[in-house]
Structure 1
């Protein structure tokens, strides 16, 4: 606490502010562990033993609730993956079967069972100009995105796909893929990567629409990875660039001379998918408690989800800027950012709730951490209390064991 000006109401307001701003990606905001700390500490205790027991009780309560809080507050990184397959006559049955085998092998590396990864498959060839999009038999969803959640069923669905054998209306197929992505229940979730793997052969039959359709797909946050059997024609390669990047670069393009080379692409595509991290709103998944010892230099790691990296602004306690507590280091990897909080010399008054203000894409947000300061001397009353608790648990276990032995002997 800072001097004698402890303001419980102000600290509670700060905790509420932090909790409400941490996770804008969810509508459910259960009472956080930080708020529970503040709630317990609103009463000013004078006796050190009672104060320490309360801190231990609050910490254990937070541990018990951390799992449920994190599952509601911070959504895990997920993947919606759609394969867009050229079903034109030029592919041929043999090559088409090679493509199907490759997809079965590739999807074995995904996590379908826990719904972390969802797979969809579209085959395309012809497009009827005067028919609505709902009446296009050769723009076909072979596997609905997310409908199959086990490898055995997915393999059976892939085996059942038959080559259509008509033309190559790629631009219209891209529009179809966008609609399939949008049908996903998590399409608008910022933690979901949306990847479109296109397996193409030759030039498109609707090339005049290709640039606009490709741009539309990318504008939805869908990242195309384009595999093309296009070495025999320069214009085909230009089309691959148009789909993947709008002609701007050769990124995410995989050129093959024959479809047997697909198996060599698996690690490259897996690596590319792992690098694609969507924009993730800042979110602190659970409480952070820093157990510091008075009279010494101490640090504490605070981890939260964010992409891109957030910038540190300031640390406050009771609405007062804490210049003597600083961020010594900040690291960012994928969707996780870690900042290291440091205090040169810890004093008992450092105990309490701290709010860390950061900037994310020009917007402010807050994370928090709780500091519990222990004395340099052993806390004998606490040690005795915990020892008594352990003895009670042990005695209870012995009583149960004796009871079970008695029941067994009477049978």
Structure 2
């Protein structure tokens, strides 16, 4: 389901990836939105590398039980919501939809992609859950060149709404804008690679980082419970 339709050629011939059984974070509710740069500078082949990264990130996600919901937004000159958090509730259909995302071309309206997080994606009618951790991954290969002054404020609005933003830059010579987009600490939420082929190597590190955050929250809750019991 898209809110803006682009007319581009299908770029995929690969079979769907093997569906993994969920092995980690499976009992935690996570609403995850991928915000993907689809500007002309990315290119068709590199855009496929981004979609492969999205699929790989979700291989171990527990989508079928409802623990994990996924949405995807593209941005170039315009913004396209590919599908919302409540569009798919099983992994085969989700992966098929990711395979069929079309490359858009255009400029780099990063502000528009970030604004969609609060205006379109993480809202109740489109599948956002108050009980779920809200996580966004933004992947880009360049600085914004449309509404650039709105990019950091849009990111701040999203973070202020409780959305964790993992910012991934590909081949960037300058990362100040990406630092402003990313949640803190940068050591956890900001990642850079030299080219799109290196995205594959990020997958395990990123998945472990997300799960580490959940485990930290669990330990904190357990500690609070223990303190409460001691004070009874």
TM-score bracket, normalised by the shorter chain, equals 0.7 to 0.9
**1:336 is matched with which residue?**
222
Show the counterpart of 2:130.
188
> With structure 1 as the length reference, what TM-score do the two structures score?
0.46
> Does structure 2 conserve the Cα–Cα contact (< 8 Å) formed by 1:82 and 1:197?
yes
Residue of structure 1 in register with 2:189 after alignment: 252
| Cα root mean square deviation, aligned | 2.5
Partner of 1:141: 81
1:241 and 1:250 in contact (8 A); partners too: no
Higher relative contact order (CA 8 A, sep 6+): 2
The SS at the match of 2:39 is: coil
Q: How does 1:10-409 map to 2 (within 5 A)?
A: 77-126=28-77, 138-179=78-119, 180-183=121-124, 184-189=126-131, 192-205=132-145, 206-231=147-172, 233-234=173-174, 237-245=175-183, 249-277=186-214, 333=219, 335-337=221-223, 339=226, 356=229
Q: Which runs of 5 or more residues in structure 2 are unaligned?
A: 1-26
Gaps of 5+ in 1: 1-75, 127-137, 280-306, 308-331, 341-354, 359-365, 367-411
User: SS at the partner of 1:90?
Assistant: coil
In 1, Cα distance between the equivalents of 2:36 and 2:220?
30
Aligned length: 202
Distance 1:170 1:278 in 2: 31
The change in CA–CA distance for 1:334 and 1:96 in structure 2 (over 3 A counts) is: farther
Cα distance, 1:230 vs. partner? 3.8
Larger strand proportion of the pair: 1
- What is the DSSP-based 3-state SS (H/G/I as helix, E as strand, rest coil) of the residue aligned with 2:103? coil
Are 2:35 and 2:138, in contact at CA under 8 Å, matched by a contact in 1? yes
Counterpart contact for 1:227–1:253, Cα < 8 Å: yes
